[in-house]
Amino acid sequence: MAIECLVLGAGQEVGKSCVVVSIGGKRIMFDCGMHMGYLDGRRYPDFSLISGTGDFDSALTCIVITHFHLDHVGALPYFTEVCGYQGPIYMTYPTKALAPLMLEDYRKVMVERRGEEEQFSYAHIVECMKKVTPIDLKQTIHVDKDLQIRAYYAGHVLGAAMIYAEVGNIAMVYTGDYNMTPDRHLGAAQIDRLHLDLLITESTYATTIRDSKYAREREFLKAVHKCVAGGGKVLIPTFALGRAQELCILLDDYWERMNLKVPIYLSAGLTIQANMYYKMLIGWTSQKIKDSYTIRNPFDFKHVCSFERSLVNAPGPCVLFATPGMISGGFSLEVFKQWAPSERNLVTLPGYCVAGTIGHKLMSGKPTRIDLDKDTHIDVRCQIHQLSFSPHTDSKGIMDLVGFLSPQHVILVHGEKPKMASLKEKIQSELGIQCYYPANNETVFIPTTQNVKVDATKKFIKSCSGGDSNIALDNPCMSTCSLSGYEISELVRDEKLAEGILMMEKTKAARIVCEDELLQILGVEQHTIQFAHCFPVDLSNRKQLLHHSGGCSRQSTEEASSHYVVAKDINPSTSYTVLQLLQEKLRNQIKCKYILMASDHLKIDSVQIRVCLDEDCPYRLNQNRSSGGTTIYFCCSWSMRDEKLAKKCLSAIKDLDLAVQEAPRTE
């Protein structure tokens, strides 16, 4: 059995997260995002790879959304209302509350302000959200009788969750975006120690180890204070939810301590509404916020107010949070056009910017001019300041999570290809875990192993132990006992000796029985097909053999060396000696430790070998005997299931003369 992972988005890139995982016959879509850097067909995942006919309800068991960022939820209304998916959708309560705000704000920016063709409408967003089932943290949801999912706290943004999925004994975690360190308004990611076949983790900062939070905060505050003290304006392009609240708390506290009077603005509408939800969902924030909430709501900012468009060119310094982040369009782009030409102004980019956005161009090296299209360009003379206030974990955080969970396999998504390659090598070399980083539209097959706990009969366990007297199974009331695959493997000394039959009956636990026990259970008479073969083997050094066995007859040595041996020439001692020699040869040649040595035969499973003293043996082949050596007949019998073993034994017997000679054979 294998886990099949189809990466439809965030494969060797950051944007449009979407991974479809087939696990135990179930198919789950994790996230359904859009790419903020594209306006063509690359904006959405290629949903045709899920179902060529468009029957997505049959192709998917459910969809799980990790958080409300557009690169994780932006394509959901299009997939449900335009493509037609009507199946189950799960997300946390805050995500269900906040995702519609993000989606509608994006729709307005793209359609109403930029005049682009509408991909989905406001009505589509409303209908899409009606299909969503909200879930709470650590709440186990049974999607059906086989599949269960569970959400764990991920930090990152309000309501973000890591998703645990289990089908039978196969388990995996999809992290979405997460943060392993707490910030001012959210706690660090938290997850139980789980036994996982697969971990799919983001890798945005695959090779970056960030400075301490306090050092980054000091640097940010110093840059902002310096700009406004010189009469400049500070533009902070950020998404309405997440970094806006984090930085507002930081600046509001700093303004209070420094007694600054410069206005701090939030772009009107969405962010104000978002702050209202933060006040309502205080239980999803950090412990520090929860503790201070009883005295004062930290989201009631003293020095932050809403911004009117008429204030864009107003004289004097100010700080403005404008959406969307990355300056990918909307109001942040309008303000950037106005403020970028002035050297006194500052644009500070607090997080990751996707390739293709203006924010990414600014982070890649300070440009002096940005072309929006063939007719529009922006002269860039303002200061550019980049700070890692991203809510994503860094390289150390990723390694800590992978090491803590210790999955069998890791898949990296949501990162840049060269950095993902470096992180893959680090995970494999330091943690010894197989790691992959597939590109978009590639499929990875992850092998899995299943341990099933079954009952086993006392007779089967004794057969596994190879007759080990230390196995205490003397309770007469115990006909079966319960063992896992690991415990059985500890008992078994030789795979051949562990043969049994797995019985699975309705309403009863699975159990392993021996072959003859099965016949008794079924009430069936045993029928055994036996094969037998009696054939001669020439032993040239008869004198040595008889001397070795102490069974030399009164015939002269010369006479004995010129005739073949018949029944009267072989006494029990001679027969036993031959079998001893054969036993040693079989141990070396077929690597079998458990050969039963009786007085007149050898036994290996159903294969039985004896020196044949019956001249009228019905299984004897008529073969010409040699005239210059000793000929002994061996009779070998076996059942059909041990045919391969029997062939190995026959081969060893026919070469036995090589084992008893000290000198080369004389012709």
HEC sequence for 58-111: HHCCEEECCCCCHHHHCCHHHHHHHCCCCCCEEEEHHHHHHHHHHHHHHHHHHH
Q: Indicate the pLDDT class of residue 466, thresholds 50, 70 and 90.
A: low
| 313 vs 310: CA distance, rounded Å | 7
Average pLDDT of the segment spanning 75-87: 96
| 403 vs 393: CA distance, rounded Å | 14
User: What is the helix (H) or strand (E) element at residue 55, kind and residue range?
Assistant: none
Cβ neighbour number for residue 3 with a 10 Å cutoff: 24
Percentage of residues in the chain having pLDDT higher than 70: 83
Q: Enumerate the active-site residues.
A: 202
| pLDDT at residue 469, rounded to an integer | 45
| pLDDT at residue 268, rounded to an integer | 62
477 has pLDDT over 50: no
Per DSSP (E only), the strands in 380-441 are 383-386, 409-413, 434-436
Q: Indicate the pLDDT class of residue 272, thresholds 50, 70 and 90.
A: low
| 654 vs 634: CA distance, rounded Å | 9
Average pLDDT of the segment spanning 284-301: 81
569 has pLDDT over 60: no
Q: Quote the DSSP letter at residue 517.
A: H
468 has pLDDT over 70: no
| 343 vs 352: CA distance, rounded Å | 24
pLDDT tens digits for range 3-46: 999 999 999 999 899 999 999 899 999 999 999 878 788 899 99
| pLDDT at residue 17, rounded to an integer | 97
| 363 vs 372: CA distance, rounded Å | 17
Bridge partners of 164?
150, 173
665 has pLDDT over 60: no
48 has pLDDT over 70: yes
Q: Is 258 left (phi over 0), alpha (psi -120 to 50) or beta?
A: alpha
| 69 vs 528: CA distance, rounded Å | 69
Residue partners of 633: CB distance under 8 A and separation at least 6: 534, 535, 536, 537, 611, 612, 617, 620
pLDDT tens digits for range 512-533: 888 778 888 888 877 777 888 8
pLDDT tens digits for range 393-452: 999 999 999 999 999 999 999 999 999 999 999 999 999 999 999 999 999 999 987 666
